[in-house]
Amino acid sequence: MADTVRAMTCAVICCAALHTLAAAAVPTIPKPVIPPGYQPQHERDERGLWLELDEYEKAVIASPLRIREAALDDYIKNLVCRIGKDYCGDFRVYVMRNPYFNASMAANGMMLVWTGALTRVGSEDELATVIGHEIAHYEMAHTLAQFRNIKKGMAIGSIFDIGLAVIGVPIPVGQMTAVLNVLAFSREEEEQADLLGAQLMLDAGFDPHATYRIWRDLIQEDQRAETKREEPGLFTKTHPDSAARAQVLEAWAHSISRPAAAEPADHETFRALIAANYSWLMEDQIKTARYGRTEYLLEQQAQFGMPEGFVHFYRAQMLMQRAEAGDAQAARAEYALATNAAAPPEAFRNYGYLLLKDNDPAAARVQFQRYLTAKPDATDRAMVEFYISEVP
């Protein structure tokens, strides 16, 4: 009996403790520190920073890597305004052609969204998470805070550099060190932006559970990477660990009740836009030659409803580029599936080349002919016709 009472008492205490811990784990949402329509104040450093950023923005606008696809551009801008609400007028949004996952926000309201973020989010809710995070950086004036930290660090670093120059090492090691210290500081800002961004996307009617799903997906993609882009250490110190981010955001998402969305997420428009631009998005991804990541993305995109023939085609492309044991055979199956569905004309051509390698010239010729029929103005017609004439 005494044992039972002791056990029950222990259970009650443990439950209470767990409840307290769980309550403590629910994070507090930080507040914006600048109002909508904010302009740089009289401090010279802030005005200088804005001027520098304005100059950089001119280069961004002129960059050939800026996406000029009106439908995609307008869609992202509308999403930014939906989440940013009263801050909408503060932002200029540029979609940049870069196959890696990233987005950024500058102090002057210039937001950059890399196309790699578009290929990785599985829904409008997840894209809203990314955008909410960047808007939060702006509302909390993180760039300015970071800039001032760099300046402070540089001042200290410069004294160290003078010392090095005196002993014959005229390089800015001190400044490098200052930059590293500042990058470490930005982890805290990233965590704050995660939380305020999550609140912003929730307030705009998006699913709060998307905030941690996106990190879970990125973790899985990282696990599939054959070659890690950033070795643990330098870069990863600047951003909180993805698992930790997911954990904090999941705790928050489970702690709140979602208000009825005034305007539900428009997944169909988002899906249609990605599908319309899928070819060049995936061409860029294939060029990264990061096979594990590409393979994972293709699995995700198949689930997300990207055009089946295109997904098969790019999987075949990845397999041919990776060229491990069994990849050519798997690629042949993928090309066969692609060419039986709606796929780029290049699927016929590349299938033909693979059939040539497999000593199946008759089948290769058929695919080459299908390619030239589907793409009569093909710039590589001479090469394809050469192989048609070469094969017996």
For binding to other proteins (CB under 8 A), which residues are involved? 59, 63-65, 96-100, 114, 169, 171, 173, 176-177, 180, 226-231, 233-234, 286-290, 317, 320-321, 323, 349-350, 353, 356-357, 379-380, 382-383, 386
**Across the chain, where does the E strand assignment appear?**
92-96, 103-105, 110-114
- Whether the Cβ atoms of residue 264 and residue 292 lie closer than 8 Å to each other: no
> Rounded to the nearest whole angstrom, what is the least distance from the CB of residue 169 to other proteins in the complex?
6
Q: Are 367 and 351 in contact (CB under 8 A)?
A: yes
Nearer to other proteins, 213 or 349 (CB): 349
Nearest-approach distance from CB 152 to other proteins, in angstroms: 18
CA dihedral angle for residue 237, residue 240, residue 242, residue 245, rounded to 10 degrees: 170
8 A C-beta contact, residue 112 and residue 132: no
Give me the least distance between CB of 198 and other proteins, in Å please: 27
Instruction: Give the count of beta carbons closer than 10 Å to the beta carbon of residue 171.
Output: 10
Least Å distance, CB 347 to other proteins, is: 12
**E strand or H helix at 231:** none
Nearer to other proteins, 226 or 268 (CB): 226
Nearer to other proteins, 118 or 249 (CB): 118
Q: Is 66 helix (H, G, I), strand (E, B) or coil?
A: strand
In the complex, the smallest distance separating the C-beta of residue 289 from other proteins, rounded to whole angstroms, is: 4
Report the residue number, 263 or 390, with the smaller CB distance to other proteins. Answer: 390
- Torsion sign (Cα): 235, 240, 244, 245: negative
Please report how many Cα atoms fall inside a 13 Å half-sphere around the Cα of residue 347, on the Cβ side: 25
Measured from the CB atom, is 25 or 179 closer to other proteins?
A: 179
